[in-house]
Amino acid sequence: MNVADSLNSASNWTDSKTTNGTPGNYPELDLSIKEQRLIFVPTEPPTNSTVNITAIVNNMAIRGADSFKVKFYEDLNRNYNAEDGEELDSVNHLTSLNFADSATVSVNSSSLSSGTHVFLAKIVNIFPNADTSLSNNTVIDSVSTVPAMDLSVSTSFLTFTPSNPKVGDNLQVISRIKNTGLTATTDFTVKFYEDINRNVFPDANEFIDSVNFAGILNTNDSMNVSIMVNGITFGWHPYLAKIIPSSVIPLVDEVSSNDQRMDSVNVTIPDSITLTEVMFKPISGEDFDEFIEVYNYSNQPIDLLNWRVRDNSAMDTLKNAGSGTILNPGQFAVIFHQGYDLVNGLYKDIFPVGALPLKVHSGLIGNGLGNSADSVKLVNSIGDTISRYAWSVSSGFTSGISHEKKNLNNDNSPSNWINSIYINGTPGFLNSVTPKQFDLSILPHDIAFSPAYPVSGQMFSISGRLYNIGEMPTGSFSVNIYRYVDQDSILLSSFNSTGLAPGDFVVIAASDTSVVEEQQILIRIIYPSDENLQNNVALKKIVLGAKRFSVVVNEINYLPSSTSTEWIELYNRSPDSVNLKKWKWSDEANINSPKSITTSNYWLKSDGYVLLVKDSALFNNFYANVPAHKFYMNTNFSSLNNSGDLIVLFDSLDIPIDSLFYEPTWGGGADISLERVIADSASTIPSNWRSSEAYHQATPGSLNSQTPVAFDIAVRQNDITFSPPHPAVNQPVTITAVVRNKGLQAINSYFTVKVFYDEDVNQTPEPSELIDSIGINSLNVDDSQAVEINWTVPSILSKRNSQLAESRYIIVLLEYSGDQRIENNLTIRELKIGIRDQSVLINEILYEPDTSQVEFIEIYNFNNTALNLQNWTISDASSSKVIVELPQYISTQQFRVLTGDSSFFRNFPSVPDSLVIVIPSMPSLNNTDDKVVLKDDVGNVVDSLHYYSTWGGRNGKSLERRSSTSNTNDPANWVSSLSAARSTPAAANSIFQAHAYLRNSLLINEIMYSPFTGEPEYIEVYNPADSGINLLNWSLLVGSDKTIIVSDHFILPSKDYAVLAQNTSFSNRFDIPNSKILLTESGLPTLSNSGNTILLQDLVGNTIDSVNYSPNWGGGEGISIERIRSDGDANVAGNWGSCVFIEGGTPGAINSNIAGSLRKKINITASPNPFLVDQGQQTKITIDIPVAQARMTVKIYDNQGRLINTLLNNSLTGSHREIEWDGKDRGRKIARMGIYIIYVEVIDDISGFSKSAKQTVVLARRL
């Protein structure tokens, strides 16, 4: 091929033979053996035959090769090198080999021995140039011979029939022989051995049998040869098969390595034990009620010792449950949870005597059988799985239904398992689904009683349901029903039947009277043809029940103190004794796991009590000599909730006998029991429960204090009250005792209420301690009567000035000869001696300190003796704090400053430490308003204050009390401090140094109580004095609302006005300068449109003026009421009237209706007069009349008597009036120049004044 033509042809391109290629390198001469492989013909040469070996040489370079040689070697030592001793032959190629051409060279190798042969070919002697790439000049390849004669047993395992042999089976051992040689073979022998010594060698003494083959076995054909081993024994058996060539026609097996094979088989005990029933979802829902049933269907007993069961998760070993571990032929064994109670467990009534009970060593069967899916295996003592069953059911599978096997063999396919017909299954006896021809059945659970749990002596009915579970109709049969007591039976009823169809049932019935606790009912089927006698007799115990509410919850102590304990009292209200064995009780938290009361016999007698006690030591210490029996439950007692709880009492059958859900509102409390009122009334009625009224606040083991009797007068501790609650020494106190008739009948005879002071504190009323006695003649049912006795606390009782609160006791005793319950006739009430009200006063408070100050409260001892402040408290509206926990005395007429921070001393370094009590986290006082309450150590309120910021004391100033004798909560009794230091802690209040003003030194002069929308209400004050008045700390009270007028100095000049308002928005309308408007600190109190009382007080709290205004005095929307005479009584209606000016008020100016010195006639002036209308002038007409108020008409006439204009028409006016005339007529045209007459007419309907007057005015123009 021409090189140029072939460069880009497809055949000129192929994969590089060198890793990473040969970039930029093209060899000049490169011979290569094609694909690095040799070609063998034939590909599978027979042993001792000749094979042809071929190599194809390619020229991979541009330059051609003129000649070359290929040497062939057999690599005998397998080192993959061409060595001289291994050379087989060589071939010279003497013709040219051009680029991309190839040449074939070959040699023969004869008499190949059996096995694999490795050959090597190598290119050498290349001419004219040496090969530039030697890596592809050598190739290694191999070929394997095929034997002419080769019999093999190694291509497959030995097989056994049966594959899982049992002891005693005849075992067939099978070996498959294959001719893997190239020629047919004839006549060979296969010998079988049992490799007893496990050396994998066919020893002569291990020979079992042999099989001779005399036929022809062609190439690649195979055949089975086998022997029989009869009566195989238990355990593992290794068998060996070996091929022996025929001695008649001696052929040499060329491959001996595959002439023998060994395999083993495990021989197990016959599977005559099988799973027959599984209860994986018991009706109780408890794992300990699961069971597995197995059955021995062999004719030999089998010991189940060390056998095991396994579910999907865990394996458990079986153990003796008291009846041994030998399972006899035809016998059932039932495997239970380790904790299952064979005597009292769920299956006690149906488990037959003839069955073998077994248990597992650990708690659960496996890991607890799965309710929806799981499996169980029965494993023998050597680990062989004998039987296995797996199940999977839907989520709605019924509890209490077991899975039963129909045919009792080892067929565990799903089709051989089905749901049991019976609730709780058939543990220990023939499965309900196992078919029999004739089988009548009655089981204990087929027997029912009505009522289910009759009480002693009660008639009850018996019903039994009898089933035909066989496959054939029955013939005649009979049924007997017996009472069975102490192994003695008494026939109650008989039943005869002519037959019963398969799957049908019949109900038989009888009746009896329950007599003793161990009474049973026995039902026996008499049917000779029955194939299953195990289910022909059923015995069921009659469980005697307790009557509902025979025993009731009668008293509960649910809120004990730390020295007491919780307890519940039970009461037997029935006429018979009740056995409390296996009774339980529960609260709400443990309703699904009630607490056992006792597991032993305990007969609670009729009308008897028993106590369930949480802590025995605490109970016996707190309640001495309680006669009733007590069950000390300790840790088995459920704690009762203080906020209410459920209590349920169960009998031995877990049937609720009594129940209630008590609430704290029913009664009871701290060491006060909750008592049932009437045992025969329902437990759930709240009114049937009340707090104990007994002296010891409970009646454990005896008649409840709330249970009514015929005659019963009572007094409770809470029925004794004192007024005041904590009287001081030598202070009168009223003792009130309420006596109640708690009996069922009225008291119509005399009884006495005696009150004692228990001076020696022995809790016993003594004649010398009698305070007083009062007789009562009668008291109706459910009625009560209060008696009052006045007493003065004698000074001998108290040392309150030097110690903490004292306790003394008042005893009330009722004496009535007919009382049937005397334990509630005496009660004792503690009397604590207190401090007299306002013995100590709140005297000064700093509630709005600036950044350099801290809050404080100053108190003052107004008492005539020193007082101990230990355990006194100071409170605001939201919190309280103890002032001091150790003794600290405040002397008479002495101050104490209470503060929350020691930085108080930075502002007041001169205040002695002894007069200051620093209270960490003292209540913080609000800036708007707050309460300050001072209480003594028994909780008496000694003084209390509810202040408001409107009273004063803002911006770093304290609020000081004015008077120690005035009401603490009177706003007028408080004022801002006048001190230069802005407060006076631990010193006399600054107000006592202030100047007091006289009555009417400052007057309330005008009131705007109904302003226009958007304008403020205002009050005008007037200084009638000859000197100025400083309004610092003056206050204004409207009703109970107080405000400080100004907290800084403000001098109101003599004969001047000041206006008190919320803002200045009205100043423009009334043309009043802002300097006359005083904006009160906390706003002006609201002025009621219906009237109110206004007090004007000076800085020391003296009332300087007061007005109790009424809308009847005048005023209205936008119109003020004005004071007429400054020297007149401010609270006389006639001294006030509506403002008559068109503006509606005169704030900061003389009132519109001021009376002054009234003239006797009408005075009219006009100014200017004349007036020039062409210059825009108007004339002001001033009119003064001799009455305070009247109706006025003003008209303008010309000199001809013609009406020109009307300026006022019957308008209400005061004694002084000013109006203007612009010179225009009624048509609003300017009148002619000339003289005009002003005509004024005044009428006062009240005084009868009626006059008119005239005056002239000249209208002119400039000429």
Question: For 688-721, what is the HEC assignment?
Answer: HEEECCCCCCCCCCCCCCCCCCCCCEECCHHHEE
Strand ordering across the sheet containing 403-405: 385-392, 373-379, 308-310, 315-320, 356-360, 332-336, 291-296, 273-279, 403-405, 417-419
Q: 151 with 217: CB under 8 angstroms?
A: yes
Across 43-47, 91-95, 228-232, 1155-1159, the highest mean pLDDT is recorded for 228-232
Q: 391 with 573: CB under 8 angstroms?
A: no
Query: What is the CATH number assigned to the segment(s) 151-267?
Result: 2.60.40.10
Sign of the Cα pseudo-torsion (1107, 1113, 1118, 1124, in order): negative
Looking at the chain, the number of H-run helices and the number of E-run strands are 4, 86
Res. 804 pLDDT band, cuts 50 70 90: very low
pLDDT at 446 over 80: yes
What pLDDT is recorded for position 990? 86
Name the residue with higher pLDDT: 1042 or 795: 1042
Query: What is the CATH number assigned to the segment(s) 273-434?
Result: 2.60.40.1260
What pLDDT is recorded for position 160? 92
Q: 1122-1136, pLDDT tens digit by residue?
A: 998 888 899 998 899
In this structure, what token pair is assigned to residue 966? 């005035």
What pLDDT is recorded for position 1195? 95
List, in order, residues 6 or more apart from 767 with CB less than 8 Å away: none
Report domain extents, the chain: 3-144, 151-267, 273-434, 444-541, 551-691, 713-832, 840-858+884-993, 1003-1138, 1163-1260
pLDDT at 1042 over 90: no
Over residues 701-722, the mean pLDDT reads: 91
pLDDT at 1254 over 60: yes
- Cα–Cα distances in angstroms (integers) from residue 69 to residues 40, 110, 115, in the given order: 20, 22, 29
Superfamily of domain 551-691: Lamin Tail domain (2.60.40.1260)
Output the average pLDDT for the chain: 88
Superfamily of domain 444-541: Immunoglobulins (2.60.40.10)
pLDDT at 215 over 80: yes
Domain 1003-1138: CATH architecture, name and number where available: Sandwich (2.60)
Res. 834 pLDDT band, cuts 50 70 90: confident
pLDDT at 1137 over 50: yes
Partners of 569 in the beta sheet?
A: 555, 611
What pLDDT is recorded for position 1158? 41
Partners of 612 in the beta sheet?
A: 568, 631
pLDDT at 20 over 70: no
- Report the run of H or E that residue 570 belongs to, with start and end: strand 567-572
CB atoms within 10 A of CB 965: 8
Over residues 93-118, the mean pLDDT reads: 87
pLDDT at 798 over 60: no
In percent, how much of the chain has pLDDT > 70?
Answer: 94
Domain 1163-1260: CATH architecture, name and number where available: Sandwich (2.60)
Fold: same for 444-541 and 551-691? yes
What pLDDT is recorded for position 34? 66
Q: 918-965, pLDDT tens digit by residue?
A: 999 999 999 999 999 999 988 889 999 999 998 888 889 999 998 888
CA distance 1162 to 1240: 8
What pLDDT is recorded for position 258? 83
Beta strands 645-650 and 584-587, pairing class: antiparallel
Q: 275-325, pLDDT tens digit by residue?
A: 999 999 999 988 889 999 999 988 888 899 999 999 998 999 999 999 999
What pLDDT is recorded for position 248? 47
CB atoms within 10 A of CB 864: 9
Query: Closest by alpha carbon to 1146, among 962, 1005, 940?
Result: 1005
Worst-scoring range by mean pLDDT, 87-96, 763-772, 920-929?
87-96
Beta strands 67-74 and 116-127, pairing class: antiparallel
Residue 178 region, left (φ>0) first, then alpha (ψ -120 to 50), else beta? beta
CA distance 802 to 866: 8
Q: What is the DSSP string of 430-499?
A: --TTS--SS-EE--GGGEEEESSSPPTT-EEEEEEEEEE-SSS----EEEEEEEEETTEEEEEEEEEES-
What pLDDT is recorded for position 41? 92
pLDDT at 1186 over 90: no
pLDDT at 780 over 80: yes
Q: What is the DSSP string of 841-881?
A: EEEEEE-S--TT---EEEEEE-SSS-EE-TT-EEE-SS-EE
Domain 713-832: CATH architecture, name and number where available: Sandwich (2.60)
Q: 943 with 921: CB under 8 angstroms?
A: no
pLDDT at 799 over 60: no
Q: 1145 with 1168: CB under 8 angstroms?
A: no
pLDDT at 1169 over 80: yes
Over residues 617-624, the mean pLDDT reads: 90
pTM: 0.39
Q: 1054-1103, pLDDT tens digit by residue?
A: 999 999 998 888 887 887 888 888 887 678 899 999 999 999 998 888 89
Q: 397 with 281: CB under 8 angstroms?
A: yes
Q: Look up residue 136 and give its DSSP letter.
A: T
For the chain, helix, strand, coil in percent to 5 are 5, 40, 50
In percent, how much of the chain has pLDDT > 90?
Answer: 52
Q: 850-864, pLDDT tens digit by residue?
A: 999 999 999 999 888
Q: 756 with 769: CB under 8 angstroms?
A: yes
Q: 1196-1227, pLDDT tens digit by residue?
A: 999 888 999 999 999 888 888 999 999 999 98
CA distance 1094 to 1019: 10
Look-up of token digits 């009850």: 460
Superfamily of domain 3-144: Immunoglobulins (2.60.40.10)
Over residues 511-531, the mean pLDDT reads: 85
CA distance 949 to 955: 10
Over residues 70-77, the mean pLDDT reads: 91
Over residues 1112-1120, the mean pLDDT reads: 92
- Cα–Cα distances in angstroms (integers) from residue 208 to residues 213, 796, 962, 1155, in the given order: 17, 124, 132, 158
CA distance 965 to 986: 19
